[in-house]
Each structure stands twice: as C-alpha cells, then as structure tokens.
Amino acid sequence: MSIFLNSYYGANKLTPKQVLTDPVLFLAFGFGSGLAKKAPGTMGTLAAIPVYLLFVQADWLIYSMLTVISTIAGIWICGIAANKLAEHDFGGIVWDEVAGFLITMWLVPCTWQTVLAGFVLFRIFDILKPWPIKYLDHHVKGGFGIMIDDVLAAIFAGGLLLLLFKYQFIS
C-alpha cells in the first residue's frame, strides 16, 4: 500500500494517469504533487519551492508579474479542476498552495532561512486558517473560493516573514 497515490480522485473517480495527462489537472495538482495520499497541501507547497527558485532569478518586477499571473490563472485552473473532479476544493488541488508560496516569498530576499521560514509560516496559516481565512474558505465557492483562503494565508505569512526578516530574526 503506497502513501503516495490513491486509485481514484474526486467524485468523478479520475485515475492518476488522467490527472497527469490533462494539462489543467496537471497544473491544479501542482505538477503531480497533489496526488499524495497524505498531506497533499504540504506536498504542493514543496512543489512550489522550485517554481519560486526559478521565478526569483528574474528581477522583482518580473517576479511580481509571474506571481500575479499564477494567482489569477489559479482561479481558472482550480475552478476547471474542481468541475472535472466534480468536487469543490478537493484536497489534491494544490495550485493555490503554489501561488500562495509565491505570494509568501514576494517581499523578502531568497535565502535558505527565508525559504524555510516562508514554507513553515505559510503551512501554519493555511492549516490553522485564522479569521477571516476560515470564513472565506467556508463561504466562497468556485475557483476564486479555492484560491482566496490561500492568498490570504500567504499575505499573513508573508507579512510575518517580512517582519522576521526586517528585525533580523532570520537572514
């Protein structure tokens, strides 16, 4: 019994092959990381790290544009994926975690400490969902609903990360 793959995903019982070969589902599932049986959100955030490391090579304006595009496109990607799965905010849909990590890391320099702290802070806010994140998670539907709680968790995490960096708790 594998901890990495289920046999089927969503109410429409899509196979891992169907998820990996459909371009929208491949993105929605974070390049396959959302196929994890355990902690798909954490796996999706881990999958975001190489994306971040690629994007951060560009200047700040390009990074900003790529992050905004990833977030806006995520509304469409997550909405289409939810429809294909016939299940709103299915756990394997982790594009929101990818975009969320990019937002978390937006205003700090790229160091191993900021990447580690950003990962941990984003996961904490995404899992605990303090107000108003939990409210939005329960009341907003569709692709926007899938994305908005992670965007807000990322803003909280990114703000705290920026303070930790600014006051030299991390470098």
Q: What is the pLDDT of residues 23-54, one digit of tens each?
A: 999 999 999 999 998 999 999 999 999 999 99
Cα 28 to Cα 120: distance, rounded to the nearest angstrom: 22
Contact 79, 146 (CB under 8 A): yes
pLDDT digits (tens, 9 = 90+) for 102-150: 999 999 999 999 999 999 999 999 999 999 999 998 899 999 999 999 9
Look up the pTM and report it: 0.94
What's the rounded mean pLDDT across residues 90-98? 96
Domain boundaries, the chain: 16-166
